[in-house]
Amino acid sequence: MNNIIIGLQWGDEGKGKIVDYLTESSDVVIRGQGGNNAGHTVIANGTKYVLHLLPSGILWDDKLNVIGNGVVIDPIGLVQEIERIEAQGIAITPNKLLISDRAHVVLPLHKELDAAREAALGDQKIGTTKRGIGPAYADKVNRCGLRIVDFLDREFTSQQIKRRVVDANEILVRHGLQTFDADEVIAEVYAAFERLRPHVSNTIPALHTAWKSGKNLLFEGAQGTLLDIDFGTYPFVTSSNTTSGGSCTGTGLPPTAIQGVIGVCKAYTTRVGSGPFPTGDEGLSEYLHGLGREFGATTGRPRGCGWLDTVLLRFACMVNGVTGLAVTNVDGLDEYETLQICTSYDIDGEIHTLPPADRKAWDRAVPIYETLPGWKSDTTGCKNFEELPSQAKAYLARLAELCDAPIAFVGVGPDRLQTLVVG
């Protein structure tokens, strides 16, 4: 069965763990969008692995991992990531990792342009990771970007980089930021490309061959639905389609190759960066941070935390076509006497069960809560769904009812083994 794994909130839902868990029954794991602004943390056999561009299936010896055409790749960052994971004992060979020759490239200057744009926005900044993702996607849409395949022609690519450096330096000088020497950029990026060259290929035939031969495919989404460039809390979003449709456009596989969509959400809500957060709660944030939880895998920034928001989840399940929910971090609520679930918003006296498109309406959205009893017991030792406290099962049942999607998996801790299968 071929599944897409999608985040249903603002990212950081624990997708990496769910992908890692489902990889055991999969043959190919594919990343189709985003860049190294994503961060998946997987704990396997007591070891913590932090992944940014590499699909989470890279931790398994007998799986093919593919970075698809929809990803924007920082070659220097990817080489550093490969070297770090290999230093942890994970071999990464061309038979194990393929990189699409159609993927666009993030250059060092894209990062500085990202920083310049954020600085120019002042109080209205998006809160990006400043990894150059937005500028790289902007070049792609403006049809002036460089793709991996372009690096096979060094003369052409060098000329293009020199032009981009001239244009970028004009902007960077105005903002008092670091400028670039074109020859240094070319040398640095090409050194990384040569390290990646054995992995580069036209990945589309390989994926279609795997699909047609009956291999199990797992599509790994990055970020979350509410950061989708079309469906998220615009303009506080990322620059790619983080919803299930992006898995097709970002890999070259059609919708007919997909049988299921697993939507991953936390048992509460978190977000990093700027933008609306109706159910944000300072007390819950302080509690979870005090446990050493909810710090970004990419930036280390503390995440804002809040009560479960099913207005957002309902919408996310709708646009993704979710066939099963994976609810993670249930154990994060173990100590609470009572829990809140947001079921709708009151905006100027009108009840909304789906999020508004109007960015100004978010400032006036007042969450309407439903109170449920907590379970006040440790769930981390539960070995199956039936061992969960009755109040925890009731909480999950209500979540599923409000989102109109069944619970498929429950996470009660960071380890691969702390994943409970429902049904």
329: left (phi over 0), alpha (psi -120 to 50) or beta: left
| Amino acid in position 321 | G
Please, what's the largest Cα pairwise distance for the chain? 66
Show the CA angle centred on residue 107, arms to residues 104 and 109, nearest 5°.
140
Find the catalytic residue in 20, 27, 40, 114. Answer: 40
Burial 62-82 (b: 16+ CB within 10 A, else e): ebbbbbbbbbbbbbbbbbebb
**What residues have CB less than 8 Å from 349, skipping those under 6 apart?**
none
Q: What are the DSSP calls for 53-73, one per residue?
A: SS-GGGGSTT-EEEE-TTBEE
Token couple for 97? 């990792």
Rounded-to-integer distance, Cα 235 and Cα 125, Å: 10
Rounded-to-integer distance, Cα 52 and Cα 143, Å: 25
Q: Is 12 a catalytic residue?
A: yes
Q: Is 40 a catalytic residue?
A: yes
- Return the closest-CA partner of residue 67 out of 59, 208, 76, 57: 57
Q: Are 253 and 289 in contact (CB under 8 A)?
A: no
Secondary structure element (H or E) that encloses residue 86, with its range: helix 75-87
Give the Å distances, CA to CA, from 290 to 170, 250, 327, 332: 45, 38, 22, 11
Show the CA angle centred on residue 182, arms to residues 180 and 185, nearest 5°.
80
| Amino acid in position 381 | G
Quote helix, strand, coil % in the chain, to nearest 5.
40, 20, 40
Strand 338-347 relative to strand 350-352: parallel, antiparallel, unpaired? Answer: antiparallel
Secondary structure element (H or E) that encloses residue 411, with its range: strand 407-411
Active-site residues: which are they? 12, 40
